[in-house]
């Protein structure tokens, strides 16, 4: 065997050749390492999946040391500059950029699946007036699975396409309904004349006095680019949730709800909300050194900094930072931008952050843009979940077609008591 790992098990003296494929060994190959015939075999122990590939995937590539991100081989910088979000969503789902005809059909399908059942308004109205918009979105997307009981059968390509159109189409509508509910404002129905991002802006901001909402071109493009940057990111926490939950064969609405719930956490997609709260908390550049000192003393983390995979500048953060100026030219300069810039400057010179390779991630600057667009922090994770739905669905479809995938079921190292006999209530100490 040329590409192999030769391992001697000192417990038995036996030597094994373990094949290496694509830089990995198969964890199940370790099962043959046994000390007796009752031994179930050696396992790997990898809490938080620090060094375990759970799948083969052709969708997204990240080189964390070099700060590289590709979707289907295309560098994120090129996509952010030249493509639209719907083109990128198609690329993620089908593997190639669409032809002009395919793009027209794809955009038509997404646009014509933006409506939701009228009953959605009723359960949206059941939420408390100050319910978090992300909680409402998670609940709403799980709830719409009740309208599509047929969605569980997913081995037919046309059927999967239908769920894909529906989910990408309806997420902005559900998100906007959640936002308008929080404000106590009437829901705005989708406008089929507008782009994906433009329609979302319309559903968020249209007032009843306007016959037709015309989005600012700069803000519409900025939102579209942010959607491109957030569309997929290989096997992160929420994508892993999507794959793991969907591996049981559940419908994709329920699986997307689970993925969105994973995204909601402050260590993941909730970080953009946490960044803005942090910047507001810091308030002025003079308070940055004190804040950094507290972080280094272990009192919390610098939100929007650090990444499991990037040990270099997150390429998405670079694009967002550049875009911020264009957005602020259209809106008003964010009073928090100087705080963010100075915080980044100081952190990138500080030994604590340098040695740990902690750089700004995509969420460090995105919140400032959303805020400038007039959106409250509760909408930030929601604006992450909308485009990430395309990535989750691409990963879901890839998983369904992968003959090696089964229901996800990790193993454990049992640390509880040995077998013991039941104690009657009166006999318990």
The residues annotated as belonging to the active site are 268, 307, 363
Chain length of the chain:
429
**Cβ closer to ligand ACO: 163 or 236?**
236
Minimum Å distance from CB 64 to ligand ACO?
Answer: 10
Instruction: Among 133, 164, 244, 361, indicate the residue that binds ligand ACO (CB under 6 A).
Output: 361
Q: Does 268 bind ligand ACO (CB under 6 A)?
A: yes
Separation CA 101–CA 109 (nearest Å): 12
Instruction: Among 191, 232, 350, 363, indicate the residue that binds ligand ACO (CB under 6 A).
Output: 363
**Cβ closer to ligand ACO: 67 or 333?**
67
Closest-approach residue to ligand ACO (CB)? 306
Minimum Å distance from CB 235 to ligand ACO?
Answer: 12
Region from 35-43, 71-79, 133-141, 358-366 binding ligand ACO, contact rule CB under 6 A: 358-366
3-state secondary structure of 83: coil
Half-sphere exposure of 340 (CA within 13 A, CB side): 29
Minimum Å distance from CB 352 to ligand ACO?
Answer: 7
**DSSP symbols for 362-380:** THHHHHHHHHHTT--GGGH
Minimum Å distance from CB 356 to ligand ACO?
Answer: 4
**Cβ closer to ligand ACO: 34 or 301?**
301
Size of the site for ligand ACO (CB under 6 A): 18
- Residue 7, beta-bridge partner list: 16
**Cβ closer to ligand ACO: 205 or 364?**
364
272-331 residues in contact with ligand ACO (CB under 6 A) are 295, 301-308
Instruction: Among 356, 374, 410, 411, indicate the residue that binds ligand ACO (CB under 6 A).
Output: 356
**Cβ closer to ligand ACO: 232 or 363?**
363
Q: Does 267 bind ligand ACO (CB under 6 A)?
A: yes
**Cβ closer to ligand ACO: 53 or 267?**
267
Instruction: Among 83, 93, 258, 271, indicate the residue that binds ligand ACO (CB under 6 A).
Output: 271
Sign for the CA dihedral angle at 197, 199, 204, 207 comes to positive
User: Two tokens at 261?
Assistant: 């719930």
Separation CA 180–CA 187 (nearest Å): 6
Residues 6 or more apart whose Cβ sits within 8 Å of residue 372: 324, 327, 328, 331, 332, 334
- Residue 17, beta-bridge partner list: 6
Instruction: Among 358, 379, 382, 383, indicate the residue that binds ligand ACO (CB under 6 A).
Output: 358
Is 279 in contact with 334 (CB distance < 8 Å)?
no
Is 174 in contact with 199 (CB distance < 8 Å)?
no
Separation CA 395–CA 6 (nearest Å): 34
Contacts for 73-78: CB closer than 8 Å, 24+ residues apart: 76/228, 76/229, 76/315, 76/316, 76/319, 77/315, 77/319
Minimum Å distance from CB 70 to ligand ACO?
Answer: 17
Region from 23-31, 264-272, 318-326, 371-379 binding ligand ACO, contact rule CB under 6 A: 264-272
Contacts for 145-150: CB closer than 8 Å, 24+ residues apart: 145/251, 145/253, 145/254, 145/257, 147/117, 147/119, 148/251, 148/253
Instruction: Among 323, 362, 383, 386, indicate the residue that binds ligand ACO (CB under 6 A).
Output: 362
**Cβ closer to ligand ACO: 121 or 308?**
308
Minimum Å distance from CB 358 to ligand ACO?
Answer: 5
Binding positions for ligand ACO, rule: CB under 6 A: 267-269, 271, 295, 301-308, 356, 358, 361-363
């Amino acid at each position: 065997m040329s590409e192999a790992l030769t391992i001697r098990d000192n417990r038995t003296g036996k030597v094994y050749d373990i094949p290496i494929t694509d830089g990995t060994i198969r964890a199940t190959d370790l099962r043959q390492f046994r000390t007796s015939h009752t031994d179930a075999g050696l396992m790997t122990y990898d809490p938080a999946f620090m060094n375990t590939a759970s799948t083969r995937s052709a969708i997204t590539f990240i080189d964390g040391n070099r700060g590289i991100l590709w979707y289907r081989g295309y560098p994120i910088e090129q996509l952010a500059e030249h493509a639209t979000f719907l083109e990128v969503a198609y690329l993620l789902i089908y593997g190639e950029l669409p032809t002009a005809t395919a793009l027209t059909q794809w955009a038509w399908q997404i646009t014509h699946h933006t409506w939701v059942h009228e009953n959605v308004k009723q359960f949206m109205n059941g939420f408390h007036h100050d319910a978090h918009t992300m909680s409402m979105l998670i609940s709403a997307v799980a709830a719409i699975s009740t309208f599509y009981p047929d969605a569980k059968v997913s081995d037919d390509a046309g059927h999967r396409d239908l769920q894909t159109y529906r989910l990408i189409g309806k997420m902005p509508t559900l998100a906007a309904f959640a936002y308008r509910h929080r404000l106590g404002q009437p829901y705005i129905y989708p406008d089929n004349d507008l782009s994906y991002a433009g329609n979302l802006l319309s559903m968020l901001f249209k007032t009843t006095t306007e016959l037709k909402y015309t989005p600012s071109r700069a803000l519409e493009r900025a939102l579209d680019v942010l959607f491109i940057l957030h569309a997929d990111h290989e096997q992160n926490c929420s994508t892993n949730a999507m794959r793991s939950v969907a591996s049981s064969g559940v419908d994709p609405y329920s699986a997307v709800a689970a993925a969105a719930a994973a995204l909601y956490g402050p260590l993941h997609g909730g970080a953009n909300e946490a960044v803005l709260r942090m910047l507001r908390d810091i308030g002025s550049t003079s308070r940055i050194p004190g804040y950094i000192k507290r972080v280094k003393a272990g009192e919390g983390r610098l939100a929007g900094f650090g990444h499991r995979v990037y040990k270099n500048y997150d390429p998405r953060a670079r694009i967002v930072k550049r875009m911020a100026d264009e957005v602020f030219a259209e809106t008003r300069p964010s009073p928090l931008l100087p705080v963010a810039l100075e915080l980044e400057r100081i952190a990138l010179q500080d030994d604590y952050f340098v040695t740990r390779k902690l750089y700004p991630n995509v969420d460090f600057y995105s919140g400032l843009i959303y805020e400038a667009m007039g959106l409250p922090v509760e909408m930030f994770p929601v604006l992450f979940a909308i485009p990430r739905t395309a990535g989750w669905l691409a990963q879901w479809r890839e998983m369904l077609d992968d003959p090696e995938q089964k229901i996800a079921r990790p193993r454990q190292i049992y640390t509880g008591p040995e077998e013991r006999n039941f104690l009657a209530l009166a006999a318990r100490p």
